[in-house]
Structure 1
């Protein structure tokens, strides 16, 4: 089981380094299609898996009856819609943008693990929502514009439904650029904290959010955030899930010390 999960994660398409972010491409892991290689690999490794990278709620034999998406034990669900389904007000709201070609609207590399850790740290006092956007290779050239407006609207919707909730943002790879784009259109105070993984724009600020409320995770050799040469480094951010969740909760003013 563990080897299957690892192979599935390793099969997700990632952005390779070039001199400009706009020209970064998604290499194929055992597929002739760059834009579909990640999802195709998941389908071949996880029997019964279906769906598209657009983050829709289409059902399959691998999704739950509630439409929450594929759930891998210990990782969490690939699709979360706590805000759009207005599941009730909680102390925190975590909105996450997945990376290129990842499944559902949360992806699998880091979004679900962080959400799982946040639920544990907050005693499940958190609403989780993924950003539904194309997450295709072409979107990398848009520098976050393919999903930034969607994320910004989700923030505003969450605050409209639950004015006292604290908004926590997260993004991985292309999804990190979406966080930047969304934050640039939001007012000061609407976002409490943010965590970014493999961020191509890591040298830039996150909107009006104070620097001590933002944590960047960029692994050694990652070709996306460091212009390194180790492509596999870009798909290992699940190991940072606990640290990222602790940062978000503490940045929101809650102690995580036992």
Structure 2
């Protein structure tokens, strides 16, 4: 799940939903992944989400990603039924403002730090800045936003299974 937002988001979700399952997506986070807009991780995210639904049909799927991982989320939703996604939460998304295919906009949380040139096109001329690695403090608010979208207290079928990409 990466080190900037993955572990803090997982911890914040587990505090709200003690039975949450969090699954990182293993993919090479490299220049090729940027060039193919998350294509190196999208199929794995889809497979992970499908397995979670197969194992537990009532689970609520939350897809999440940071930076290139956000592009993985976009890519995954190109071949995954967005109606099966309870929420999407992304951080530093280079495709910020682009729709998440099949997911209602009200179910999407997009966090873009001020002057993060990768997601805030108006905020900076620099593509990468310190702001791009500043998302750790946003984890708790993002988890609460997910809870506001999907509800529940973490017991039974209200606990989400989260598939995250770095």
Is the TM-score greater than 0.5?
A: yes
Q: Please state whether the residue corresponding to 2:84 is helix, strand or coil.
A: coil
Q: Which has the higher helix share?
A: 2
Matched, 1:243 2:137: no
Residue 249 of structure 1: how far off its partner (Å): 1.7
TM-score, normalised by the number of residues in structure 2: 0.86
TM-score, normalised by the number of residues in structure 1: 0.56
Q: Tell me how far apart the structure 1 counterparts of residues 55 and 110 of structure 2 sit (CA, whole Å).
A: 29
Residue pairs, 1:19-168, within 5 angstroms = 106-122=1-17, 124-168=18-62
Moved over 3 A (4+): none
Partner of 2:150: 252
Aligned residues: 150
Partner of 1:223: 117
Matched, 1:203 2:97: yes
Q: Please state whether the residue corresponding to 2:85 is helix, strand or coil.
A: coil
Q: Tell me how far apart the structure 2 counterparts of residues 188 and 224 of structure 1 sit (CA, whole Å).
A: 25
Residue 253 of structure 1: how far off its partner (Å): 2.1
Q: Tell me how far apart the structure 1 counterparts of residues 153 and 28 of structure 2 sit (CA, whole Å).
A: 36
- Structure 1: stretches of 5+ with no match in the other structure: 1-105
Q: Please state whether the residue corresponding to 1:189 is helix, strand or coil.
A: helix
Q: Please state whether the residue corresponding to 2:88 is helix, strand or coil.
A: strand
Preserved CA contact (<8 Å) 2:96 2:120: no
Q: Tell me how far apart the structure 2 counterparts of residues 159 and 235 of structure 1 sit (CA, whole Å).
A: 32
For residues 164-218 of structure 1, the C-alpha deviation after alignment (integer angstroms, 9 at most, x for no partner) is 1100111000000000010121114211001110001112111111001001111
Q: With a CA cutoff of 8 Å and minimum separation of 6, indicate the structure with the bigger relative contact order.
A: 2
Q: Which has the higher strand share?
A: 2
Partner of 1:233: 131
- Structure 2: stretches of 5+ with no match in the other structure: 155-166
Larger radius of gyration: 1
| Coordinate RMSD, CA, aligned | 1.5
